[in-house]
């Protein structure tokens, strides 16, 4: 059976992709799933201050299959910049092969992007191109509050323009600052304009002990991807 690849992207940097990736991995408990962060910038030590290190600390048994945080990363750069400007040029085929090697061994691969969907990896190859080239379904992480309609629709438009499959949108509101009505109106506007579902909102969560309701919501969102 061909591996299923989920690409977790965002409408911007620091919107909550890593938290969503953690919760997706929690929701995939019992599945043969691995997590990858092919490109990591703004990182001094992959095993301590990377996004995979965050997952390793907060998953009940650490990263699956005995992987270390460094194992999840192909390209690591110290500078907190878009990969194009963060250091030595990335090798497109090497990144694709990195994901493919794990996809050959596991049923499900969760790939977290860096920054937003159009962040450049090379001069003519962006995160969206990586998602397309690894034949991933895309899950978009977006803020829940003011401005998210525009940012999310722009992201969904770019995904549609490349004919990439989009699983849907997850809102993140880490401080529970956005009123429920605003969350609902923003989700409705995005779905009406794009025909892409907004599955729900992840509010304030303990990364080591997320709520059962949030995991149930993510299981529902992942159902079309897994089946």
Q: Where are the beta strands (DSSP E) in 27-103?
A: 33-36, 39-40, 75-76
Which residue in the block uniquely carries the two structure tokens 């989700």? 187
Q: Where are the beta strands (DSSP E) in the chain?
A: 4-10, 33-36, 39-40, 75-76, 108-116, 120-122, 125-126, 137-143, 166-172, 198-202
Residue 113 near residue 7 (C-beta atoms within 8 A):
yes
Please tell me which residue in 2, 4, 17, 37 is annotated as part of the active site.
37
Question: Is 2 an annotated catalytic residue?
Answer: no
- Could you give the CA distance from residue 207 to residue 211 in angstroms, rounded to a whole number? 9
Question: Concatenated DSSP letters for 153-181?
Answer: HHHHHHHHHTT--EEEEEEE-TT--S-HH
Separation in Å, CA 216 to CA 28, 95, 222:
11, 32, 10
Name the residues annotated as catalytic. Answer: 37
């Amino acid at each position: 059976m061909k591996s299923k690849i989920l690409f977790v992207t965002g409408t911007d940097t620091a919107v909550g992709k890593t938290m969503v990736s953690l919760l997706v991995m929690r929701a995939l408990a019992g599945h043969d799933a691995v997590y990858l962060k092919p490109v990591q910038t703004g990182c001094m030590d992959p095993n301590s201050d990377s996004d995979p290190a965050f997952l390793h600390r907060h998953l009940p048994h650490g990263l699956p299959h005995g992987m270390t945080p460094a194992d999840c990363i192909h390209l690591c750069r110290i500078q907190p910049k878009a990969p194009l400007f963060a250091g030595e040029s990335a090798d497109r085929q090497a990144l694709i092969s990195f994901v493919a090697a794990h996809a050959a061994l596991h049923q499900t691969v969760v790939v977290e992007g860096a920054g937003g969907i159009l962040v450049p990896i090379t001069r003519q190859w962006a995160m969206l191109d990586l998602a397309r080239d690894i034949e991933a379904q895309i899950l978009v992480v977006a803020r829940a509050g003011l401005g998210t309609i525009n940012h999310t629709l722009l992201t969904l438009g770019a995904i549609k323009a490349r004919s990439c499959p989009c699983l849907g949108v997850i809102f993140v509101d880490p401080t529970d600052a956005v009123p429920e009505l605003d969350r609902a109106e923003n989700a409705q506007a995005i779905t009406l304009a794009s025909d892409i579902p907004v599955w729900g909102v992840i509010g304030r969560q303990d990364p080591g002990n997320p709520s059962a309701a949030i995991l149930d919501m993510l299981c529902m969102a992942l159902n079309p991807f897994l089946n």
